[in-house]
């Protein structure tokens, strides 16, 4: 018997409409699978079972009504069980950002991205694991322990949206929300063999997203294929009065009906095929580009000359913004408190003891980069080089529609492999950081496996607001390949 959780989101949506299954059955199947598999994977930090079952029952009532009167179309996410990265607030469900400093925090409101999905009838199963405050590339920086990669539980799922990527890969939910500040959706999607969409900066409201690097943070989603991501994207995207940095541009429906790559110019930047890239990764990505060319795309060499500067720029700007954003954790309004004799000591001890090692490192780095005497040399200079990086993309997109490259230099690494060397971990992000600095959208999808049986991801980037083209292009590739249909062997 094929299990309900083997269905794609679109198959599940069709079954809900035909009455072959119910949202309650889907939700119970996901919860059961979570109870079976998650003790080994640790993709979830909190389950919202009671709320999820209520949402499912409400969806089933709505579906029954819809079958009597079909004048109004239901959103494709209607009745579909999803998971939410634990940096997005969901009212009354513990939200920790993978940190001790938010242990026990119950948000008084729900993030707009999540609220829009709930209004569209989606079911939220729970909160997924993340590197503490989304700072990391492996989910090992979660204060609650790492998530394990479903393809090899000795390896990391990537990060920081590693819990969401692992949950989707293991079939614990039909799709999941993630966030991407420097690659945190695309890299775990690659490591776990799923499809992940990083939206344009400003495309999806960040109201209720707990801030990390405010000029870089984006909300997006992970699913098993591009076609399954589109329904989440169209519901979440669009202006929100509660986030003045959300764009007012209209959000198009993503049409998969006449998908072709004919006439699409795909640029392949030489700067992304450098020494240190695993040979199997390079080969798989080049082969996928070949497949896209056979589908009608024109492949042209392109150049993003400042690519090698993205890493130092990111690791000054993001920590600087983080050091300001994380000043709010003062144990006054929320979070646990280390009691001290005066307020001063309370700040020092609470923050010193309850922030994890990587978070403290980035706060220190950011504070240094912003401090008197160093501001111009570090933060100021990084902001200027950021202008050059963005200009690289503006220029490249004058002659190409999409940019194709690897997502990460390697496939999933072993838990503990990067040990105490933060710089070697930061290098994992070298191909994903530029999109955040430039504010452009990107999609990551599986294009093969290495000799160890680990998934390999490819990234496509588009000009701002180009999400529809990214989804359509990845879909075109997925129509003629089956990498995205492979599932890890789990029991």
Partner 1 sequence: MAISLEEVRHIAFLARLELTPEEQELYAKQLSAILEYAARLTEVDTDQIPPTASVLPLKAPLRRDVVRPSLPHALILRNAPATERGMFRVPPVLE
Binders of partner 1 among residues 360 to 389 (CB under 8 A) are 360-361, 363-365, 367-368, 371, 377-378, 380-388
Listed in sequence order, the DSSP H helices in 19-92 are 23-41, 49-68
Tokens at 285, concatenated: 């990505």
In a 3-state reduction of DSSP, which class is residue 340? coil
The answer to the question of residue 258 lying near partner 1 (CB under 8 A) is: no
The answer to whether 349 contacts partner 1 (rule: CB under 8 A) is: yes
Catalytic (active site) residue 323? no
| Count of other CB atoms within 10 angstroms of residue 197 | 31
Does 105 help bind partner 1 (rule: CB under 8 A)?
yes
- Other CB atoms closer than 10 Å to residue 26's CB: what's the count? 25
Task: Tell me which of 109, 119, 154, 480 binds partner 1, using CB under 8 A.
Answer: 109
Q: Which stretch binds partner 1 (CB under 8 A): 115-123, 135-143, 355-363, 408-416?
A: 355-363
Contact between 211 and partner 1 by CB under 8 A: the answer reads no
Rule CB under 8 A: is residue 305 a binding residue for partner 1? no
- C-alpha 78 chain-centroid distance: 21
Question: Which of 106, 255, 296, 485: binder of partner 1 (CB under 8 A)?
Answer: 106
215 binds partner 1 (CB under 8 A): yes
| CB of residue 186 to partner 1, shortest distance in Å | 18
Q: Which of 36, 245, 260, 485 forms a contact with partner 1 (CB under 8 A)?
A: 245
Q: How far apart are the C-alpha atoms of 69 and 48, rounded to whole Å?
A: 31
349/479 with CB nearer partner 1 = 349
Q: Which strand ranges, in their side-by-side order, compose the sheet holding 195-198?
A: 44-47, 123-128, 81-85, 175-180, 218-223, 195-198, 442-449, 455-461, 402-406, 265-269, 298-302
Which residue's CB is nearer to partner 1, number 57 or number 215?
A: 215
Binding mask 412-451 for partner 1 (x = CB under 8 A): --------x-xx--x-----------xx------------
Separation between Cα atoms, residue 298 and residue 285, nearest integer Å? 16
Nearer to partner 1, 62 or 439 (CB): 439
Angle at CA 124, nearest 5°, toward 118 and 127?
130
* 312 forms part of the interface with partner 1 (CB under 8 A): yes
- Among the listed residues 23, 113, 138, 160, the single catalytic one is 160
Instruction: Tell me the pairing of strands 218-223 and 265-269.
Output: unpaired
CB atoms within 10 A of CB 375: 14
Least Cα distance to 200 among 472, 488, 435 occurs for 435
Interacting positions 16-35 with partner 1 (CB under 8 A): none
Catalytic residue status for 137: no
* Catalytic residue check, 85: yes
Q: Do the beta carbons of residue 261 and residue 295 sit within 8 Å?
A: yes
Q: Which of 351, 469, 475, 484 binds partner 1 (CB under 8 A)?
A: 351
40 interacts with partner 1 by CB under 8 A: no
Catalytic residues: 85, 160, 184
């Amino acid at each position: 018997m094929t299990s309900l959780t083997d269905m794609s989101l679109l198959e599940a949506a069709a079954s809900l409409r035909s009455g072959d299954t119910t949202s309650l059955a889907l939700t119970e199947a996901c919860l059961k699978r979570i109870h079976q598999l998650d003790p080994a994977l640790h993709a979830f930090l909190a389950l919202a079972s009671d709320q999820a079952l209520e949402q499912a029952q409400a969806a089933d009532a709505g579906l029954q009504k819809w079958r009597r009167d079909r004048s109004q179309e239901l959103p494709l996410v209607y009745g579909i069980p999803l998971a939410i990265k634990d940096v997005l607030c969901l009212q009354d469900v513990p939200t920790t950002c993978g940190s001790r400093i938010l242990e026990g925090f119950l948000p008084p409101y729900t993030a707009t991205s999540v609220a829009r999905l709930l209004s569209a009838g989606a079911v939220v199963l729970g909160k997924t694991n993340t590197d503490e405050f989304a700072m990391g590339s492996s989910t090992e920086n979660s204060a609650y322990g790492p998530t394990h990669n479903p393809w090899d539980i000795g390896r990391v799922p990537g990060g920081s949206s590693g819990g969401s990527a692992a949950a989707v890969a293991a079939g614990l939910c039909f799709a999941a929300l993630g966030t991407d500040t420097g690659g945190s959706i695309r890299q775990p999607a690659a490591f776990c063999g799923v499809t992940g969409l990083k939206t344009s900066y400003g495309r999806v409201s960040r109201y209720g997203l707990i801030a990390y690097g405010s000029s870089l943070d984006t909300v997006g989603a992970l699913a098993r294929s591009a076609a399954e991501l589109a329904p989440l994207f169209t519901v979440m995207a669009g202006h929100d009065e509660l986030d003045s940095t959300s764009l007012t541009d209209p959000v198009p429906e993503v049409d998969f009906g006449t998908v072709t790559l004919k006439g699409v110019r795909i640029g392949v930047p030489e700067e992304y095929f450098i020494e240190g890239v695993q040979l199997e990764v390079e080969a798989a990505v080049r082969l996928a580009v070949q497949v896209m060319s056979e589908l009608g795309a024109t492949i042209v060499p392109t150049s993003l000359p400042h690519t090698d500067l993205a890493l130092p720029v990111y690791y000054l700007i993001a920590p600087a913004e983080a050091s300001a954003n994380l000043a709010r954790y003062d144990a006054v309004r929320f979070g646990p408190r280390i009691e001290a004799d005066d307020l001063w000591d309370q700040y020092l001890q609470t923050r010193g003891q309850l922030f994890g090692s990587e978070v403290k490192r980035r706060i220190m780095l950011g504070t240094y980069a912003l401090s008197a005497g160093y501001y111009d040399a570090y933060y100021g200079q990084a902001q200027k080089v950021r202008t050059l990086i963005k200009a690289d993309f503006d220029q490249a997109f004058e002659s190409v529609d999409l940019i194709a490259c690897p997502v990460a230099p390697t496939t999933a690494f072993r838990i503990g492999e990067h040990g105490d060397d933060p710089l070697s971990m930061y290098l994992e992000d070298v191909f994903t950081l530029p999109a955040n600095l430039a504010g452009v959208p990107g999609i990551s999808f599986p294009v093969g496996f290495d000799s160890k049986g680990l998934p390999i991801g490819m990234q496509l980037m588009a000009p701002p607001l180009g999400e529809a083209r990214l989804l359509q292009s990845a879909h075109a590739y997925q129509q003629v390949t089956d990498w995205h249909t492979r599932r890890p062997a789990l029991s």
